[in-house]
Amino acid sequence: MGNEELTYHVPVLLMPSVDGMNIRPDGTYVDVTFGGGGHSREILSRLGDGGQLLGFDQDEDAEQNIVDNPHFIFVRSNFRYLHNFLRYHNIEEVDSILADLGVSSHHFDDSERGFSFRFDGALDMRMNKRAGDTAADIINTYSEERLADIFYLYGELKNSRKLASVIVKARAGQKITTIGEFLEVIKPLFGREREKKELAKVFQALRIEVNQEMEALKEMLYAATEALKPGGRLVVITYHSLEDRMVKNIMKTGNVEGKMEKDFFGNVQTPFRLVNNKVIVPDDAEIERNPRSRSAKLRIAEKK
């Protein structure tokens, strides 16, 4: 059983992130990205009488990892509704909140989910299989301009306009519904050596749009800022520069745009104190053990 749990997802920066939460045995904690439950299990191992952990995940597949522990409550929801679910569970304030953003290895490894260009299958990419547009819906219905914006903003792809234009031309002939069909359309745009890297960017951009990741992150960060007790910790692991910028901004300035608001004396008004000024990243041993940890960045801030 243990091995099955491990293959769902190997937790990234496990000890530095959970240590950063400053767990007290009787405290109230939230893991907004439960996934394989690696971080949640470590948090639960540090809880005792009166301790409580809420674990969120919008993907029903994560339910197979639910921990049988009296201190644990699983919430199958998007973390953008953090505020509503805390209220529903009569929780006014929490001691620390952990977010380990993005998708899990399970998403990339399950050929049915459409997250990986290693497999053919439906172009889906929804973390919540019950809601919203799939990647195929987006590719077949968005305007050329909107597609170009997504590839540029979320994938930082230099040839975003060309990419959007070949997609729109191809879909005029026939709907693009599978990963195989999509790759046939876009692959000629990329040189052999950079092909994998560029495809990863295209898939990342689509995944972010399908799951409305930036909007959900923004709403969760504001709800988390509100929900934390003074002295409570916000602990976030990011995997790409867009989400990292948002997290850095909220921790430094209290807003996701990074607008500095100063008081009469010129001091920046922010709800947080940074615990680590420099981002924490996995060491070489962790990257070797788990190559998917390579792009991880951990930031920790304490509510004033």
Q: Which residues bind ligand SAM (CB under 6 A)?
A: 9, 11, 33, 35-39, 56-59, 62, 78-80, 100, 102-104, 127, 216
CB of 258 to ligand SAM, least distance (A): 22
Q: Which is nearer to ligand SAM, 167 or 286 (CB)?
A: 286
For the chain, the three-class secondary structure string (H helix, E strand, C coil) is CHHHHHHHCCCCCHHHHHHHCCCCCCCEEEECCCCCCHHHHHHHHCCCCCCEEEEECCCHHHHHHCCCCCCEEEECCCHHHHHHHHHHCCCCCEEEEEEECCCCHHHHHCCCCCCCCCCCCECCCCCCCCCCCCHHHHHHHCCHHHHHHHHHHHHCCCCHHHHHHHHHHHHHHCCCCEHHHHHHHHHHHCCCCCHHHHHHHHHHHHHHHHCCHHHHHHHHHHHHHHHEEEEEEEEEEECCHHHHHHHHHHHHHCCCCCCCCECCCCCECCCEEECCCCCECCCHHHHHHCHHHCCCEEEEEEEC
Min separation Cβ 286 and ligand SAM, Å? 13
Residue (11 or 271) nearer to ligand SAM, CB:
11
Residue 38, classified by CB atoms within 10 Å of its CB into exposed (0-12), middle (13-18) or buried (19+), is buried
182 appears as a binding residue in the annotation: no
Amino acid at position 85, single letter: F
CA distance 298 to 20: 10
Token readout for 183 is 């790759």
Closest distance to ligand SAM from the beta carbon of 149 (Å): 21
Please check if 74 is assigned to a binding site.
no
- Cβ distance to ligand SAM smaller for residue 56 or 117: 56
Nearer to ligand SAM, 162 or 292 (CB): 292
Q: How far is the CB of 137 from ligand SAM (least distance, A)?
A: 19
Which C-beta is closer to ligand SAM: that of 34 or that of 151? 34
The answer to whether the annotation marks 79 as part of a ligand binding site is yes
Smallest distance, Å, CB 75 to ligand SAM?
9
CB of 41 to ligand SAM, least distance (A): 8
Residue 33 vs 225, nearer CB to ligand SAM:
33
Residue 117 assigned as binding residue: no
107 is in an annotated binding site: yes
Nearer to ligand SAM, 75 or 176 (CB): 75
CB of 289 to ligand SAM, least distance (A): 14
Residue ranges of the binding site for S-adenosyl-L-methionine: 37-39, 57, 79, 100, 107
Residue ranges of the binding site: 37-39, 57, 79, 100, 107
